[in-house]
Structure 1
Amino acid sequence: MDDRAERELRGEAVAWVQHLDSGRVTPADVKALKQWRSRSPDHEAAFADARRMWKEFALGARSLRERGQLSPALAARPLSHSTLSRRAAIGGALATVSAAAAYAMVSPPLDLWPSIAELAADYRTVTGEQRQLELPSDVSMHLNSQTSVALRGNDGARIELVSGEASFVSKSQQERPLIVLAANGVMTTSRAHFDVRRAGQSVCVTCVGGNVNVTLESQATTLGSGQQVRYDDRGLGPVASIDIELVTAWQQGVLIFRSAPLAEVVEEINRYRSGRVILMDRELARKPISGRFRIDHMDDILVRLNQAFGITSRTLPGGIVLLT
């Protein structure tokens, strides 16, 4: 199973655990969950991990509450994708939380909530939010949904992409190059427009204009306009030519798919939509999808899938949608 498929599976497991914890489960939901868990040993294992970590974090949160170190407002809220305040996340309370809860804050199980690194970032967007920023040294930065970045210096010329996706523009020739860090890689340029997308240790870099140098330890390459490279723990991949319109469409508030597998489409929907869309049919995941959709109307994709492909959806509480 590749990294993207594993993230999708873990996200689906989390969505099921959240729904079970909501107290609004119907007999039909139980049947659907049984069907989902029986699809493969990986599905069953992902569900077991999600349920175990959910319980462990709940115990840690209860410990904080009993010691008076968790605010009543936060203690009363259900565990979800809600944003915790920076103060609550990195304050002295973490020093006394149980081992399970402390680990969960540093390395969130199944991407259930933002990590400490994300919460402590200088700029962060939540689900469905985008943000345009102007930095010193004539650098602009456009943050996509669910993105965290940290400034490593006061001049805006050294930036770390902690998670998510961002577009960077170095507008004029500078003596000091713009440096973007993502996982173990480094992107440098004196003047360029480029996009960086990070999911864990997997990073994708796309050059929209100009030239960008991409370095991963002892490996290096230079991207020109319309070129893309991916890297992860296994190393730097080959340079590929891509359609810039597809990669940058989110900056115009739309998503464009051209014969993309439905599994990939669902992954994008979940970046911009609260809750979770879950594919219940393995064969369905490979179905090619084409279309242009507005990011602020994500549910329109679900309607179009039904109209054009006969894919049916079932909505559960908490924004969970099952596709069959």
Structure 2
Amino acid sequence: MTTPPSRDGHAVPADLEAQAWNWLRLLRSGDARELDAKRFRRWVHSSPAHQAAYNAVKFRWDALEPPARELLQRKPEAVPRPRRRVGSAYGRRAFLGAAIGAAAAAGVAVVHPPLGWWPAIDEWGADDRTAAGEQRTLALADGIDVTLNTRTSVRRRTSGGQAVGLELIAGEAAIDLGAGRAFAVIAGAGRSTAEWGRFEVRHVDGKACVTCIEGAVRVEHPAGTRVLQARQQVRYDAVAVGSVASVEPAAATAWREGVLVFSQTPLADVIDEINRYRTGRVMLMNDRVRNRPVSGRFAIVELDMALWQLQESFDLRARTLPAGVLILS
């Protein structure tokens, strides 16, 4: 499991990171009592690792405040209404929900998980997960290779000790199958199954897209079933599934070659996609250009150059803040 770095560059264990966020949430909420303060002091001084974990999350929170305050001033609707799971302990998502109330009162908007600094709670149980900008290939069995794109979390599914599929919790995966047994990918409300060939599944922000590169893929959804042939694609969300569409697979698979390809894509969507590949966050604060179309090819390893090109093309001002935050206005 990938763990974030502390301020001195060392990795923070995931369990300590979660505990540190819970303490920070409580201390910033205004609900902390004297007993809580004593418990916190015992926790934070129990080891250098505990102190480092707290220092790391506090540094990130403090770095978020300036851009978040500006976001709240421009877009008050960006602050979601917090929700608490009944009967459950505070986790990272619960921390964020509670923190939003306190943060909003202080003039700070938080998008959860803030700046993508930690995985969402649904991703904690992932068997495999990639960090921002990371790609990894898993050889699940003879003839079954799965390549995970950036910020991707999956759970493996087996039967009788053999790989039969995976759950794509979030992110994007490319599946390469030799002739043999069926392999299924569950993403949100849909299940995509193939017996051979190549296909890709993307599951981001509750929306899924399945692209068949070679062979055939059966996509089952509560709203209907679609069968894809090579060079075909279908999109779905939790309640609906779209029609089968013809696509140019080279664009869909370009990330495997280290390239992002856009064709008449709104600038806001381009920024969202770039954010998946880099730590921190790019915030587009200029509504005038949000829907302006972008076409081009950008190397994943040179996304800072891509951002500079976008800045120049749309006459945007750029402001750099700590923790990888870039504001374009």
TM-score in same-fold range (> 0.5): yes
| Structure 2 CA distance for aligned equivalents of residues 157 and 137 of structure 1 | 12
Partner of 1:68: 43
Deviation readout 1:295-324 (Å, 9 max, x if unpaired): 011111122123334333221222211212
What is the identity, as a one-letter code, of the residue corresponding to 2:167? E
The counterpart of 1:161, out of the listed 158, 168, 184, is 168
Q: 1:155: how far off?
A: 1.7
Report SS of the residue matched to 2:316: coil
Report SS of the residue matched to 1:76: helix
1:137–1:155 contact (8 Å) kept in structure 2: no
Partner of 2:10: none
Q: Does 1:211 align with 2:227?
A: no
1:226–1:244 contact (8 Å) kept in structure 2: yes
Normalising by structure 2, what TM-score? Answer: 0.69
Q: 1:234: how far off?
A: 1.9
Which ranges of structure 1 fall in alignment gaps of 5 or more residues?
A: 1-53, 82-96
Q: 1:102: how far off?
A: 6.6
Q: Which runs of 4+ in 1 moved over 6 A?
A: 60-64, 105-109
Partner of 2:207: 202
Which ranges of structure 2 fall in alignment gaps of 5 or more residues?
A: 1-23, 62-86, 99-110
Distance 1:236 1:135, change over 3 A: same
1:56–1:101 contact (8 Å) kept in structure 2: no
| Structure 1 CA distance for aligned equivalents of residues 247 and 95 of structure 2 | 37
Count how many residue pairs are aligned between Structure 1 and Structure 2. Answer: 256
2:96–2:113 contact (8 Å) kept in structure 1: no
The counterpart of 2:140, out of the listed 131, 135, 138, is 135
| Structure 2 CA distance for aligned equivalents of residues 234 and 206 of structure 1 | 19
Identity of aligned residues (%): 37
| Structure 2 CA distance for aligned equivalents of residues 197 and 57 of structure 1 | 38
| Structure 2 CA distance for aligned equivalents of residues 196 and 163 of structure 1 | 10
Report SS of the residue matched to 1:152: strand
Normalising by structure 1, what TM-score? Answer: 0.70
| Structure 2 CA distance for aligned equivalents of residues 131 and 106 of structure 1 | 29
Partner of 2:113: 111
Report SS of the residue matched to 1:197: strand
1:128–1:271 contact (8 Å) kept in structure 2: yes
Q: Does 1:78 align with 2:40?
A: no
Deviation readout 1:71-98 (Å, 9 max, x if unpaired): 33323322559xxxxxxxxxxxxxxx98
C-alpha RMSD of matched pairs (Å): 3.1
Deviation readout 1:27-71 (Å, 9 max, x if unpaired): xxxxxxxxxxxxxxxxxxxxxxxxxxx845866997874563983
Greater alpha carbon shift after TM alignment, 107-116 vs 221-230: 107-116
Mapping of residues 1-324 of structure 1, within 5 Å: 55=25, 65-66=40-41, 68=43, 71-78=50-57, 80=60, 99-101=89-91, 104=94, 110-112=112-114, 113-153=118-158, 154-172=161-179, 174=180, 176-217=181-222, 219-324=224-329
| Structure 1 CA distance for aligned equivalents of residues 93 and 265 of structure 2 | 36
Q: 1:226: how far off?
A: 1.2
